[in-house]
Structure 1
Amino acid sequence: MEQQLHLIAAALLLGFATVGSGVGNGVLFSKFVEGVSRQPEARGTLLGSAMIGLAFVEAFPAILLALGLMTFFS
């Protein structure tokens, strides 16, 4: 019974990480495209900010992947 709960917890962690990452990337790059369409000369600055934001958004599923694997194998 306890092993089954660990599997469910790991699956939920990985699922939420995937959904959260997808939503975060979608919002981030939709705002990037919106910003570039409003002010095309600021493309380079916006791209740099978007890449930093992407790193933060992608850190979330990496951390949850590690927690999910730790939960799965514990």
Structure 2
Amino acid sequence: MDKNRCNGCGKCKEVCAKGEKIWKINNKLAHVSNLEFCHACMLCQMKCKKNAITINRPWIDKKYQKTENNNII
């Protein structure tokens, strides 16, 4: 979560199926309070107009690494 970009609009919490359990909005800033319920679906990241959310999914990103000749392995 990029605190310098977030304006606390709450879209992240709104689109998240587990928003009430994951997201908290305080002082015009969203923050993750509990990642235990996050499925890394990336809906919050896609809906954030300020690009304040970055989701790391190493188990997927590693699976689809590109080789030198840009073939997916």
| TM-score class normalised by the smaller sequence | under 0.3
Structure with the higher fraction of residues in helix conformation: 1
Give me the TM-score of the superposition, normalised by structure 1.
Answer: 0.25
More strand by share: 2
Task: Answer with 1 or 2: which has the greater Rg.
Answer: 1
- Asked which structure has the greater RCO (Cα within 8 Å, sep 6+), the reply is 1
- TM-score, length-scaled by structure 2: 0.26
